[in-house]
Amino acid sequence: MPMHYINLSGYKFTKLNDLEKFQHELLTTCQHLGLKGTILLSSEGINIFVCVKPETLAPFSACIHAIVGPLTFKESPSVEIPFKKMLVKIKPEIITFGVEGIDPENAPAPGISAQEFKAWLDAGKEVVVFDTRNDYEVRLGTFKNAIHLDIQHFRQFPEAIKKLPEEYKDKPVVTFCTGGIRCEKAAPFLLQQGFNNVYQLEGGILKYLEENGHAHYDGECFVFDKRIAVDAALEESDTIQCHGCRQPVTYEEQQSTEFVEGKSCPRCFA
């Protein structure tokens, strides 16, 4: 795929003050560079989803570095800009969880790299793999034999954990999500709840696919922009969003007689 644009996603948990000042600086810089996307700011850190041209990557990165220090982005190419506007928002949390006492900056769970996680799976190591994402994301693709919690929003994760078998608490556990940010809270929460051996997949699914392709992973990965989903090569897939229920609709589902473009899909046809 020609790299007309680069989609960047990244986050950092770090204490921030003067949020209004940073909001103004970021919005001014992004507008000057012609960027589009969303940046979330809070007292706990920054969460970034933006689309840049190759020549604007360096000045944008320099702006971020000046505010929060080093931050590693996950990159994926696209021929179009998958965002409509540039937004910089101030929020109570950069990823909504709603649980007090979780401190990803100072008390994170141990991480496991994409390469090491693949090695565990290659070797058939006994491990409980938790998908921390929402049900519509899981439906598009997930790791083989991963356990998901059938939640519709990450805020429901803490309550869903209470329904898991007690024996999971004594087994090695790996949590994963799209880019890693949800696991920064989910994995420490599991430790808080008495799970003894918890790791979070560094960089999430996107980093894993970048380094390992589809090994041990089935399907696509939902992304939060108008691309809707990417394949194992991190290229935009044929999945679209239903106009009626806003759920993702795969290419196969688009062949159904219950799919009416601009109206309905098999999930909301009735």
145 shares a domain with 82? no
- Euclidean distance between CA atoms 57 and 8, whole angstroms: 9
- Judge if pTM exceeds 0.85: yes
Q: Does 24 score more than 50 pLDDT?
A: yes
Q: For 26-49, what is the mean pLDDT?
A: 97
CATH at residue 191: 3.40.250.10
> In Å, how far from its chain's centre is CA 35?
20
* Residue 34 within a domain: yes
Residue 133 pLDDT > 90: yes
| Domain boundary pick from 219, 236, 263 | 219
Residue linked to tokens 């041209």: 53
Element (H, E) at 117: helix 114-122
- CA–CA gap between residue 123 and residue 44 (Å, rounded): 37
| Sheet of 86-90, strands arranged across | 74-78, 5-13, 45-52, 36-42, 86-90
**In-domain check, residue 170:** yes
Per-chain mean pLDDT for the chain:
95
Q: Are 209 and 220 in contact (CB under 8 A)?
A: no
Residues 56, 11, single domain; the answer is: yes
What local confidence, expressed as pLDDT, does residue 3 receive? 56
Say which residue, 101 or 116, is predicted with more confidence: 116
Domain range for 153? 111-219
Question: What confidence category does residue 1 fall into, taking pLDDT thresholds of 50, 70 and 90?
Answer: very low
Report helix, strand and coil shares of the chain as percent, to nearest 5.
30, 25, 45
Statement: residue 142 has pLDDT above 80: yes
The number of domains in the chain is 2
Largest CA distance in the chain: 54
3-state secondary structure of 204: helix
Which one from 30, 51, 177, 242 is the annotated catalytic residue? 177
User: 115 in a domain, yes or no?
Assistant: yes
User: Is 177 annotated as catalytic?
Assistant: yes
Whether residue 2 has pLDDT greater than 90: no
CB of 67 closer than 8 Å to CB of 27: no
Residues 123 and 208 both lie in one domain? yes
